[in-house]
């Protein structure tokens, strides 16, 4: 039984991680500033003796005694991280420095939720961890991409210099229940559009690709990585790749009776054109690979959004 | 007449910038924590009514009223920036945030001393500003490279969001008097080795290239950029490119009577293999190009080191 801190614990991924660690019997402290997270995501644990929810912003120092830190606090979808780019960078720099300072003081292991965005608009496909990436330092995504890149550099620096035990997960696109209705990500957008018979909006010609993993697969991978001995970056994602165009059709077909048409809007600046993880390292080092079929994951997610839409009526 | 803050003002480049701005009649505040800078570099101005030297670390907030900020504070040579990688990243993140917060409050223009290292080990040659770079987020140089990359992203974020007026200089290798004796950079190493008849140490086979500018050219470029209206990154460097092997011979030949032999040592991890600026943007946007011939610059630098060595005897 471990004492575990989860920053961003009221968010989409964080709340699923809370669920799993609570079910496994650990003591969990979830920390969040509620920028995109919601108390509702963890409300079923409130009052449980092993659970604590802390309202705090990671850009400010935080003191607690824990064994493990899952550091997930950061806006994650393009509209959210571009909403306040200065704050996005502060969260990923100051926030990561504070969590590393905390880990150093209490000798905890810290896992960084890094991202496939460190590869940017990749020129190597699929992306292995050895690929250095292709990122525009001054583009609209740079607040997030460069913030996460330097967060990785901070992890390595505290590891080398202060012997902090580190884990770096490079997370690829993830979906599932508790994604935000309005965070503008493709899965939530397309499902909501299909459920409401609104046009399904493809940005650009739809030939750009992504690979989507279901959130419980990710949570499994994060926990396996944390409890391994491996301190270099590890891709966590599902290598099943689709174009965004295909994806629009797949989702519409999974929503019976949807009358949505599929339309093309303007493409987005610096939008990565392809993305698929090479996950051989995860298989070798932490014996992980995704288990959930995309279709099964999508059906659960569609049910979640259907209920959310009904609730909000 | 302007009020100008120079962070890193007691360093190599900073002190030459102090000289030029003082001679032009401005009020200059030089700020430094003396990590690699020395009071000696600016001692000739101490007591001058237009000059102030402040002992301060940029990772801590600093309050002053100024019109322009040249933000140069950062260790700059590989041995110095790798000495304390955590501090290198803190300086480039927290330090840049503080200077941008200051610029925002007093409506000053801030110029960031960025670096050709944002291009990393480049796969495009020569490097134009539009090149996104090739940097290892977890390599030994990442504390500096990623620190500077995210500093650029911070500049852009404060510009877009808070209307801070910004300038970004991507500085290529620079040499001249007041380089540190022991900072391990190639020009200082080779000159001191040649002057002392010690072996001239090439790391690797010496086919890697660099392009070297003389420090007064750089200072000219920084001032022109600051007083322009241009807020995108601008390369400031001399496009004359040499291999490190050639460079060893050039320097030995400029030190009459040197009996140094030229030797090859192990190559350094992640050492960029080639580097040369494309400086068309500087020509077009700020009417700048380098004026000093490498040989003339080297002769002045050799004289400086000869005097330093004598003084230390
Ligand atoms: N979901 C994905 O597809 C994906 C892909 C790659 C990486 N990631 C990373 O995984 C992590 C979780 O992402 P998510 O999809 O759950 O997003 P999310 O927005 O649901 O979760 C992020 C949580 O962090 C909180 N937060 C943001 N800034 C904070 C601050 N300064 N202090 C305290 N809390 C703060 C938010 O309120 C939110 O609860 C993020 O770090 C993200 O970058 C996610
Ligand atoms: N010289 C080059 O070839 C070169 C090339 C590219 C970029 N640059 C950039 O130009 C700037 C100046 O470089 P330089 O060659 O003069 O190096 P330098 O080491 O001589 O100067 C840097 C100065 O910053 C000071 N400093 C470092 N950390 C500080 C902190 N936390 N607070 C306050 N002061 C601090 C140092 O004491 C020093 O005086 C740096 O930002 C460097 O990254 C230099
Ligand atoms: O339990 C802790 C210990 C440290 N920190 C913060 O972590 C940061 C980095 O810590 P480090 O030890 O590197 O920095 P220092 O305290 O030496 O400046 C500092 O801003 C601390 O305030 C924290 O939030 N919680
Ligand atoms: O309504 C939408 C939302 C997103 N996208 C595209 O879907 C891909 C994934 O976008 P998302 O924001 O989900 O994630 P990221 O770009 O960070 O991978 C990108 O190519 C977007 O341009 C789209 O075509 N329509
Ligand atoms: O004259 C100033 C104004 C601000 N700051 C610092 O600059 C940083 C960033 O400023 P910003 O306005 O973005 O941050 P905020 O004060 O809103 O947190 C803060 O840590 C301030 O302490 C500073 O050093 N000098
Ligand atoms: O004694 C030395 C010092 C440096 N170098 C090489 O010279 C080049 C420039 O190194 P420096 O540290 O001056 O600058 P940077 O690598 O940051 O351009 C690199 O390829 C180094 O490996 C070398 O061969 N011998």
Rounded to two decimals, the ipTM of the complex is: 0.96
For residue A115, what are the contacts with CB-CB under 8 A and spacing of at least 6? A76, A144, A145, A148, A170, A171, A172
Residue B136: Cβ within 10 Å count: 22
Tell me the three state secondary structure of residue B230. Answer: coil
Burial of residue B256 (CB within 10 Å: 0-12, 13-18, 19+) is exposed
User: What is the model's pLDDT at position A182?
Assistant: 85
pLDDT along chain B (313 residues), means of 10: 98 98 98 97 98 98 98 96 97 98 98 98 96 97 98 98 98 96 92 97 96 97 98 97 96 96 94 95 98 97 96 86
Residue A296: Cβ within 10 Å count: 11
Per-residue pLDDT tens over the stretch B171-207: 999 999 999 988 889 999 999 999 999 999 999 999 9
User: What is the model's pLDDT at position A312?
Assistant: 85
Residue B61: Cβ within 10 Å count: 12
Closest CA to B137 of A118, A280, A251, A115: A118
Residue B218: Cβ within 10 Å count: 28
Contact B12, B42 (CB under 8 A): no
Tell me the three state secondary structure of residue B121. Answer: coil
d(CA B18, CA B5): 10
Pocket test for ligand 6, best of B180, B203, B212 (most atoms within 8 A of CB): B203
Q: What are phi and psi of B64, to 5 degrees?
A: -165, 165
d(CA B119, CA B97): 22
Paired residues of B165 in beta bridges = B109
User: What is the model's pLDDT at position A280?
Assistant: 98
Burial of residue A49 (CB within 10 Å: 0-12, 13-18, 19+) is exposed
* B→A interface, C-beta within 8 Å: 84-86, 88-90, 93-94, 97, 118, 120, 132-138, 142-143, 146-147, 149-150, 152-154, 156-158, 160-162, 168, 232-233
Q: What is the mean pLDDT of chain B?
A: 97
How confident is residue A183, by pLDDT bands cut at 50, 70 and 90? confident
Kindly give the interhelix angle for A142-162 and B85-106, rounded to the nearest 10 degrees: 140
Q: How far off is chain A from B128, nearest CA to CA, in Å?
A: 13
Interface contact B161-A93, CB threshold 8 A = no
Does residue A270 carry a pLDDT above 90? no
Contact A4, A25 (CB under 8 A): no
CA angle B88, A113, B61 (to 5 degrees): 35
Q: Is the CB of A158 under 6 A from ligand 3?
A: no
User: What is the model's pLDDT at position B270?
Assistant: 84
d(CA A244, CA A195): 18
Q: What is the mean pLDDT of chain A?
A: 97
Q: Which pairs count as long-range contacts for A49-57, CB under 8 Å and 24+ apart, including other chains? A: A50/A22, A50/A25, A50/A26, A51/A18, A51/A22, A51/A27, A52/A28, A53/A9, A53/A10, A54/A29, A54/A30, A56/A31, A56/A32, A57/A33
Q: What number is the average pLDDT over the span A65-91?
A: 97
User: What is the model's pLDDT at position B312?
Assistant: 85
> DSSP characters for B45-66?
GTT-TTEEEEE--TTS------
Partners of B160 on chain A (C-beta within 8 Å) are 85
Percentage of residues in chain A with pLDDT exceeding 90?
A: 96
User: What is the model's pLDDT at position B134?
Assistant: 97
Per-residue pLDDT tens over the stretch A111-159: 999 999 999 999 999 999 999 999 999 999 999 999 999 999 999 999 9
From B62, B70, B81, B144, the catalytic residue: B144
Q: How far is CA B54 from CA B6, B62, B64, in A?
A: 10, 10, 11
Q: What number is the average pLDDT over the span A297-310?
A: 96
From A70, A81, A119, A144, the catalytic residue: A144
Does residue A269 carry a pLDDT above 90? no
Contact B73, B8 (CB under 8 A): yes
Percentage of residues in chain A with pLDDT exceeding 70?
A: 100
In this prediction the pTM is: 0.97
For residue A44, what are the contacts with CB-CB under 8 A and spacing of at least 6? none
Tell me the three state secondary structure of residue B266. Answer: coil
Q: Is the CB of A92 under 6 A from ligand 1?
A: no
Q: How far is CA B244 from CA A105, B104, B201, B210, B274, in A?
A: 44, 42, 10, 7, 10
Per-residue pLDDT tens over the stretch B179-189: 998 888 999 99
């Amino acid at each position: 039984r471990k004492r575990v801190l989860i920053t961003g614990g009221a968010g989409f991924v964080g709340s699923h991680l809370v669920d799993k660690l609570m079910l496994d019997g650990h003591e969990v402290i979830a920390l969040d500033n509620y920028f995109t997270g919601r108390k509702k995501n963890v409300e079923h644990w409130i009052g449980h003796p092993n659970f604590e929810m802390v309202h705090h912003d990671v850009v400010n120092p935080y003191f607690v005694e824990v064994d493990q830190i899952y550091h997930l606090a950061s806006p994650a979808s393009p509209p959210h991280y571009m909403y306040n780019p200065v704050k996005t960078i502060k969260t990923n720099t100051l926030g990561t420095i504070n969590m590393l300072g905390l880990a150093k003081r209490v000798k905890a292991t810290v896992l960084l939720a890094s991202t496939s965005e460190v590869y940017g608009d990749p020129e190597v496909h699929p992306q292995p961890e050895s690929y250095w990436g292709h990122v525009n330092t001054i583009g609209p995504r740079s607040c997030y991409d460069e913030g996460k890149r330097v967060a990785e550099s901070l992890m390595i620096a505290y590891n080398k210099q202060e012997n902090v035990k580190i884990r770096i997960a490079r997370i690829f696109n993830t979906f599932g229940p508790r994604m935000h209705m309005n965070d503008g990500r493709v899965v939530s957008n397309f499902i909501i559009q299909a459920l409401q018979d609104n046009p399904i909006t493809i940005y650009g010609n739809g030939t750009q690709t992504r690979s989507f993993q279901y959130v419980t697969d990710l949570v499994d991978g994060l926990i396996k990585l944390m409890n391994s001995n491996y301190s270099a970056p590890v891709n966590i994602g599902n290598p099943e790749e689709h174009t965004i165009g295909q994806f629009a059709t797949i989702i519409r077909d999974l929503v019976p009776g949807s009358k949505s048409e599929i339309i093309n809007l303007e493409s987005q600046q610096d939008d990565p054109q392809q993305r698929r993880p090479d996950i051989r390292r995860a298989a070798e080092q932490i014996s992980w690979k995704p288990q959930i079929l995309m279709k099964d994951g999508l059906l659960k997610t569609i049910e979640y959004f259907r209920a959310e839409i009904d609730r909000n009526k």
